[in-house]
Each structure stands twice: as structure tokens, then as C-alpha cells.
Amino acid sequence: MTTYEPVIGLEIHAELQTKSKMFCGCSAAYSEAPAANTLICPVCTALPGAMPVVNQKAVEQAILVGLALNCTINPMNQFARKNYFYPDLPKGYQISQYDLPVASNGWLNILAGTDPQRIRVRRAHLEEDTAKLFHHDRHTLVDYNRAGVPLLEIVSEPDMHTVEAALDYATRIRAILRYLGVNSGDMEKGVLRFEANVSVRPTGSSELLTRTEIKNLNSFRALTRATAFEIQRQTQIYQSGAEVVQETLGWNDLKEMTISQRSKEEAHDYRYFPEPDLPPLEINRAWVEQIKSELPELPEMREQRLIMQFGLTVNEARLLTSDKALADYYEKTVSLSKSPVKTISNWITGEFLRYVNDMGLDLEHLPFPPEHLAQLVDLVTAKAINDNTAKEVLAGMFKTGQSPETIVKANNLGQISDQDALELVVAQVLNDNPKEVASYLAGKQTVFQWMMGQVARLTRGKADPQVARKLLLQALEKARISK
């Protein structure tokens, strides 16, 4: 039977983080609106006679993204009207960009599995978000607070051939947007939405077969599930000898399947034409250069730097740079700590991230600063506490936000590495267990571990294992001689 490989392109809609909306002065912070229809004006509710004026900050953010994605910034931009009727679209057209978008012809490096791959970015253009609809049994309610919030649509070429590649591309785009500070990446709030174009073709061929478009993918999970489902559906269709129909699909999260949206199909003649209410937008080189100078270090560059600077593995570096806040936290901790970088990396990629993920924490609002994490790692390095205790302390830090020193003191968790104190403990172990001492001295080496266990028991785990080991060996040698 013929095998098929997928061909996937992604459209990513990202809300830009401006203060005001794309074409009017209403606040764009719709998720913090006091009530429905409070962040509105004649422009964003399309009252007769109202006119749009472009938000300069939105253009700058779009240019920033374009540069980060290695795009050409088009010196002449034009807005266009995309005409269709839908109750979330007050004007009956969306102001978007058509043949002259802000940015085009860029690329982004990803990992398809373990193989590096360059995905081409076709274009990035500005448009406006729609109103929010609330569907009820017998009618629909409209809230215009979100209408007119700036959106950047980033369109890839159909260059991805696995679900993993698509996921990696989407993940990296999200990271870049967060690095640039133009999008919070908060998927639950809907600030980032995906549409996937999916087709399949016989493995090894280079033809492009009929594609379908899956809309409304509002999480990475939905993106991976929907594309995987669609790939399988199309493959089965071809294998059964039938043909795939070009159509728009919706993803149903509950039923875990794509569903045809025929009602939207007929209206696909968008009748684009240049927006006459907005003069063309010139983006001159000086402006682009100025924005370029504000471009921060991006994930890919940072990944390379961390590998070079700290000797991290590729996987560690990728994980640590996947989020700007995490990478910032990591680098800050490294700069504050006296411990080896390797130890710090292990702590952050291990226990630390496990808590962050388990507790669903926002990396930008952690309960404690990097200073505290640096202290914790330094306590371990200085053998003031052992690994197990450190894990307990870290749990306490996540729970209470207190500094590790405070927690250690309050709970008397400090590691015992004091020679005199441990000598007493070792002496007691030898005193209490003459039989075991005898069998060790008779050559039964395994008893040593048991005796170490006794030291740990008596110190409730706080004994510095290396010091304890040394003292125990010395005491047993003494016993051998005195015997």
C-alpha cells in the first residue's frame, strides 16, 4: 500500500500588545474590561461615518516580528478591505493587508525531530481582531470590546512534513513573539490562534495535492491533535481510492475530530480592494534600521550563546531558551551563584521546572527571585544541606516564597558536616553495634553501607555523606588496630 507524507502550512494569528486598538483609541486590554461593550467607540463598532487611523506602535511591532523572522520589510504598505458578513465583524469588512503586507519572504530554523530544518515564512500582515460572540440556544450575543484589537497574521509556506515539525515551528514563533514583547503567548486568553493547511502526498513525491484548512486551533494540543487527525483522515481517503475535498474545517475539541464548515465555504469571495480610508504606508529604511537596533537577542541566538558560554548541551540550551523569562531567570541565577554552571543548569532544568510545570506557574511571576535559587544551589555546593534536603527546601520556597536560609533555619535542616558532631554519632554507631563491627573487621565489606545508614538515621539525613564516610572509615580502622 502507498504510504503518504503530510504537507503542513501554518497561519498564526497573534494579537499585538499595544495599549490602544489598531484603528482607534479604545483600550486594547479587552480581557480586563469591566463589562461587555465598555471599550468601544464609533470606529470599532462601525457607526456610520467613523474612520480608522493606524496605530503606529502596531506597525512597529509588526516590523519587529518581520525582522525577527528574517523577512523583507516592504517599503510600501497598503491596507485592504476583506469583505464578508459575520456578526463578529462590525464593518462588514475586515481591514487587513493583501498584496502589500508589512513583511514577506522570511524564514525560521526549527528542529523536525532531531533534524534542523528551515521553514519559509511567506508573509506577516497587520489586521484587526473581531468582536466576541457568545452562542446561546436561540440567539447569539455580541461584545465589541475585542473588535479592532491589532492582529498580526504570520503565514508559513507548506514546508512542514510532520506534526512535530509543525509543533516546533508554532512553539518557536510563540517564543519569538514573547522575546519581542509583542504577545504574551497566553494561549488560554486566545492571544495566539492557529490555522493549519494540511494535505498529504505519496511519500517521496513533490506534488501538492488538495489541501484542507483547519480553523480555530487555540492550543498546541489542538494544533497537534487536529493536524494528526487530518493527516490520518486524508491518508485513509486516498488509500480507499477516494479524493480529498478542498474545504474549511473546524476542530472539535470534545469529539477530537475535524468538522466541515460548509456554511463559511460559499462566502470565500472576499473581494479585496485597497482601503480608501487609509493612505498607503511608507516604511523607510531609517525607520526599519531604528527598529532593528531595538531587536533583542532571539531564542536561536541565545541557544547558541548558552552552549558556547556555559557548555550546555543542545537540549538543555533549547529548553532554557524556549521562554525568555526562563532564560532570563537562568542567566540571572548563574550570575548570582558561586556554584558550577552545570549544577545550576541541572537544578533549573530538573526540580525547578518540574515545580513550575506542576503548579502551572507563570515564569514571569514566580514566588521567589533568582537570588533565592542561587542561594539554594550554593548551600548544596557548600554542603550545608544535601540534595534531599535541598529538594524539601525548594518545595518550601515555592510554597511560601521564603528564602532558603530562612527555611533551613526554621526547620533545622542544615547538613551536619561538623567533624566533632559527626565523630560522636559515628562513635555511637560503633558502640551500639559491636556484632556488625566485628563482621566488618572480619572482612564483610557490605556492612559498611549499613553502618552509613545508621549514621543517616541518627542525624535524620542531615549528615554530610562524604564527611560521615571518612569518619566512619577512620573509626573502623582504629577499632581494627585496637582489637
Provide the binding-site residues for Zn ion, judged by CB under 5 A. 24, 26, 41, 43-44
Select from 31, 36, 70, 378 the one that contacts another protein (CB under 8 A). Answer: 36
246 touches another protein (CB under 8 A): no
Query: Alpha-carbon torsion 317, 321, 325, 328, what sign?
Result: positive
Cβ atoms of residues 148 and 23 within 8 Å = yes
Q: Which is nearer to another protein, 54 or 447 (CB)?
A: 54
* Contacted by 81, from Zn ion, another protein, none: CB < 5 to 8 Å by type: another protein
Q: Determine which helix (DSSP H) or strand (DSSP E) holds 102, and give its type and residue range.
A: none
Cβ atoms of residues 320 and 327 within 8 Å = yes
Q: Determine which helix (DSSP H) or strand (DSSP E) holds 93, and give its type and residue range.
A: strand 93-97
Select from 6, 9, 10, 18 the one that contacts another protein (CB under 8 A). Answer: 18
Q: Which is nearer to another protein, 116 or 276 (CB)?
A: 276
Pairing of strands 248-252, 212-217: parallel
| Encoded amino acid at 88, one letter | D
Q: Quick one: angle between helices 465-482 and 434-441, nearest 10?
A: 80
Closest C-alpha among 89, 188, 218 to residue 147: 89
How many residues interact with another protein (rule CB under 8 A)? 74
Sheet holding 150-156, edge to edge: 72-73, 103-112, 115-128, 150-156, 4-15, 192-202, 212-217, 248-252, 257-260
Cβ atoms of residues 6 and 231 within 8 Å = yes
Select from 8, 12, 39, 217 the one that contacts another protein (CB under 8 A). Answer: 39
Grid coordinates of 424: 560522636
Cβ atoms of residues 151 and 13 within 8 Å = yes
Closest C-alpha among 455, 465, 294 to residue 387: 465
Query: Alpha-carbon torsion 33, 22, 183, 366, what sign?
Result: negative
Select from 261, 322, 346, 406 the one that contacts another protein (CB under 8 A). Answer: 261
Q: Which is nearer to Zn ion, 129 or 464 (CB)?
A: 129
* Contacted by 466, from Zn ion, another protein, none: CB < 5 to 8 Å by type: none
- Contacts of another protein in 268-327 (CB under 8 A): 269, 271-274, 276-283
40 touches another protein (CB under 8 A): yes
Q: Which is nearer to Zn ion, 46 or 476 (CB)?
A: 46
Q: Could you count the other beta carbons within 10 Å of the beta carbon of residue 292?
A: 14
- Contacts of another protein in 183-242 (CB under 8 A): 216
Select from 12, 59, 163, 173 the one that contacts another protein (CB under 8 A). Answer: 59
13 touches another protein (CB under 8 A): no
Select from 206, 263, 293, 482 the one that contacts another protein (CB under 8 A). Answer: 263
Q: Which is nearer to another protein, 135 or 435 (CB)?
A: 135
For the CB of residue 8, give the shortest distance to another protein in the complex, in Å.
21
The pair phi, psi for residue 279, each rounded to 5°, is -65, 155
* Contacted by 277, from another protein, Zn ion, none: CB < 5 to 8 Å by type: another protein
Query: Alpha-carbon torsion 119, 123, 128, 133, what sign?
Result: negative
51 touches another protein (CB under 8 A): yes
- Contacts of another protein in 81-120 (CB under 8 A): 81, 83, 85-87, 90-93
For the CB of residue 29, give the shortest distance to another protein in the complex, in Å.
9
Q: Which is nearer to Zn ion, 24 or 413 (CB)?
A: 24
**Rounded to an integer, what distance in angstroms lies between the CA atom of residue 32 and that of residue 35?**
9
Q: Which is nearer to another protein, 197 or 258 (CB)?
A: 258
Q: Could you count the other beta carbons within 10 Å of the beta carbon of residue 183?
A: 22
Select from 2, 3, 19, 364 the one that contacts another protein (CB under 8 A). Answer: 19
Q: Which is nearer to another protein, 19 or 189 (CB)?
A: 19
Cell 532544568 maps to which residue? Answer: 349
- Contacts of another protein in 143-162 (CB under 8 A): 143-144
For the CB of residue 129, give the shortest distance to Zn ion in the complex, in Å.
12
Q: Which is nearer to Zn ion, 23 or 440 (CB)?
A: 23
